[in-house]
Amino acid sequence: MITPAWVAMMARYNAWQNGWVIEACEALGEAERRADRGLFFGSVHGTLSHILWGDHMWLARFTGGDLPGIRIADSGDYVTDWSALVRQRAETDAALVDWAGGVTGEWLHTDYSWHSKAAGRQVSRPMAQVVTHLFNHQTHHRGQIHAALTRTGQATRDTDLFFLEPD
């Protein structure tokens, strides 16, 4: 389904995209970042916080680290301070790129089981599907932020994967 090279590419892609999104959101200012934009997590800040929460959740599951201490419903308030969110986003992107460098084809062909509080039950899926979800989740919510930025008149950048420079 997917390969370690694909995982590494997607980690780099997401770090690249998150970089310009954070930069564009910085230009909005605090009030504009916190304004309800009709996104699933309300504001641009809330959506960025949710994405970070999701990344922390999956990275912890993949590496045996500590899970975030809050549920999905509260993930829009996972990191409320803008400076902390910016710092943690950069740190998490670096951690994801580092983690992706260690992914093996063998590991991608295993199954992963966990208790999903969102689904309210035990879930088991192929690891390749779960890893794909990690990256798809970021892309999905960044798309919402991209639309919100566009509506505010804030400059955005290309999001097409083929614009990612080769390694």
CA 73 → CA 17, 30, 46, distances in Å? 25, 22, 11
Strands 121-126, 111-116: pairing kind: antiparallel
Is 50 annotated for ligand binding? Answer: yes
Q: Judge residue 160's burial from the number of C-beta atoms within 10 Å of its C-beta, 0-12 exposed, 13-18 middle, 19 or more buried.
A: exposed
Is 140 annotated for ligand binding? Answer: no
CA 164 → CA 15, 112, 167, distances in Å? 11, 30, 9
Distance from C-alpha of 15 to C-alpha of 24, rounded to nearest angstrom: 14
Strand partners of residue 121: 116
Distance from C-alpha of 24 to C-alpha of 152, rounded to nearest angstrom: 11
Query: Which two tokens mark 124?
Result: 């088991």
Query: Which two tokens mark 71?
Result: 């549920």
Is 141 annotated for ligand binding? Answer: yes
State the binding site for a divalent metal cation.
50, 137, 141
State the binding site.
50, 137, 141
